[in-house]
């Protein structure tokens, strides 16, 4: 397992848990939930830099390269979209959107790991 993947799982899961907890407690988006989503985005930026370095030093994507980079670019947009949603609609339901961003990024990371290692699709 790739350490980047494991870190991403932890960051995404913690973010989703915090956001779901705030939503269950009927809290509007707050610093904790928004910053946890920002942590997911920050992780994805580090993941992207790591992927560029890995690929440029000879560790190729064994699956389809366009598919990996498409997933990564899309994953980078998900937390940003959830952030704007939470800023524009300050209700408890926005925390569910922030949680969905963390869960979505987790699934996308899992798929990117499969593509990088050349594992057949789901």
pLDDT of residue 85: 93
Cα–Cα dist 27/97, whole Å? 13
Q: What is the pTM for the complete model shown?
A: 0.89
Location of structure tokens 């870190």: 7
Domains and CATH numbers, the chain: 3-117 (1.20.120)
In order along its 122 residues, the chain shows pLDDT tens digits of 788 899 999 999 999 999 999 999 999 999 999 999 999 999 999 999 999 999 999 888 898 889 999 999 999 999 999 999 999 988 889 999 999 999 999 999 999 999 988 876 55
């Amino acid at each position: 397992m790739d350490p980047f993947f494991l870190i991403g799982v932890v960051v995404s899961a913690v973010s989703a848990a915090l956001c779901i907890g705030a939503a269950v407690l009927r809290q509007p988006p707050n610093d904790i939930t928004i910053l946890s989503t920002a942590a997911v985005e920050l992780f994805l930026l580090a993941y992207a830099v790591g992927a560029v370095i890995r690929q440029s030093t000879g560790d190729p994507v064994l699956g389809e390269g366009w598919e990996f980079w498409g997933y990564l670019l899309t994953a980078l947009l998900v937390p940003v979209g959830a952030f704007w949603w939470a800023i524009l609609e300050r209700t408890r339901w926005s925390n569910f959107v922030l949680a969905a961003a963390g869960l979505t990024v987790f699934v996308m990371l899992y798929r990117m790991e499969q593509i990088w290692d050349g594992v057949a699709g789901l």
